[in-house]
Amino acid sequence: MGIKRTKWDAVFSNAVRERDRWTCQRCSKYYPEGKRQGLHCSHFFGRARYSTRFDFDNCEALCHGCHQYLGSHPNLHREHKIVKLGSEKFNNLISRSNNRVKKSDILSKDNYDYLKNRLNKYKEKNAK
């Protein structure tokens, strides 16, 4: 049984894909409106880890093929993430991933409002 997808997951996933302009961050394939089902919000540290579940550095838009490929090749996924973030940001992400957080703090109304706000800001930026 998988991890339940919440309204926080939905808004965060859309914010990541909007931030990345609906383009795979590995192969650069663009997903136009109406054909966006194949573009995933890929987590470097899995969604079960609440400390980084909604961390924008932890996630990026990847097409199905690139998501599967990097998921099957952890060393290449790590290299890819280091190139995308840089070593310092990657090391900070590792540190954040080891923090313990309360699920109730992450799945709060304030956090939902924050994620929704980020989504709207990315939409506004991309509309320009």
Asked, for residue 73, whether it belongs to a domain, the answer is: yes
Percent of the chain with pLDDT over 70: 98
Which amino acid is present at 49?
Answer: R
Whether the full predicted model's pTM is greater than 0.75, yes or no, is yes
Domain residues for the domain of 17 are 7-110
Residue 103 lies in a domain: yes
Whether 1 maps to a domain, the answer reads no
Average pLDDT over residues 42-65: 97
pLDDT at residue 1 greater than cutoff 60: no
Asked, for residue 121, whether it belongs to a domain, the answer is no
Residue 124's pLDDT is 96
Note whether residue 20 is domain-resident. yes
User: Does 125 reside within a domain?
Assistant: no
* Residue 55: pLDDT band with limits 50, 70, 90: very high
Q: Which of 18, 8, 14, 83 is nearest to 44 (CA)?
A: 83
pLDDT of residue 36: 87
Report the pLDDT value the prediction gives residue 51, as an integer from 0 to 100: 96
The overall longest dimension of the chain from CA atoms, in Å, is: 41
pLDDT of the residue at 2: 64
Q: In the prediction, which pLDDT does 4 show?
A: 82
Number of domains the chain contains: 1
Q: Are 18 and 123 in contact (CB under 8 A)?
A: yes
For 28, 46, 68, the CA distances from 21, given in Å and listed in that order, are 10, 22, 20
